[in-house]
């Protein structure tokens, strides 16, 4: 159970790192108040209403384009061994040892003796101390 949970969490963390480096753009084309097209990969198609330059100068266009750009990380943090001092080394060593101890299987041997006879008693203590059950 612990191994499956560990594998799932490491897979999810790898996906988190992968998706945090992605960047993408969402383009939307509105004609009036209505959304006409959404594009995740390229330019959004227009609605086909082309206004001439003369009409455009007199009147404002009813179409508008919105572009939402979501930036991902450009660089991941690079590790430097110069910053790896003694305190961090001790922490990593303690973490690795305690993490490995989580997955040790505790196997105890159960030994069953068949026809095991009790040890020989050299003296009869009941008679020696005169303690009898009545």
pLDDT values of the chain reduced to their tens digit, one per residue, 134 residues? 888 999 999 999 999 888 888 888 889 988 888 888 888 887 777 777 765 544 445 567 788 888 888 887 777 677 777 778 899 899 999 999 988 888 777 778 887 777 778 778 788 888 888 887 77
Confirm whether 10 is domain-assigned.
yes
Confirm whether 123 is domain-assigned.
no
Confirm whether 120 is domain-assigned.
no
Domain housing 45: 2-70
Confirm whether 19 is domain-assigned.
yes
Confirm whether 93 is domain-assigned.
no
Confirm whether 61 is domain-assigned.
yes
Provide the pLDDT for residue 10.
95
Nearest 5°: phi and psi at 71?
-85, 140
What Rg, from alpha-carbon coordinates, does the chain have? 39
Provide the pLDDT for residue 92.
92
Q: What's the structural domain count of the chain?
A: 1
Confirm whether 79 is domain-assigned.
no
Provide the pLDDT for residue 52.
54
Confirm whether 91 is domain-assigned.
no
Provide the pLDDT for residue 58.
56
């Amino acid at each position: 159970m612990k191994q499956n949970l560990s594998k799932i969490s490491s897979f999810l963390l790898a996906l988190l790192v992968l998706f945090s480096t992605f960047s993408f753009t969402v383009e939307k084309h509105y004609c009036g108040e209505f959304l006409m097209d959404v594009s995740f990969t390229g330019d959004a198609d227009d609605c086909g209403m082309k206004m001439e330059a003369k009409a455009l100068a007199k009147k404002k266009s009813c179409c508008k384009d919105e572009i939402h750009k979501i930036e991902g990380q450009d660089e991941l943090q690079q590790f430097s061994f110069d910053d790896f001092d003694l305190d961090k080394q001790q922490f990593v060593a303690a973490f690795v040892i305690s993490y490995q101890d989580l997955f040790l299987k505790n196997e105890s041997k159960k030994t069953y003796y068949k026809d095991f006879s009790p040890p020989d008693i050299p003296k009869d203590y009941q008679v020696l101390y005169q303690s009898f059950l009545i």
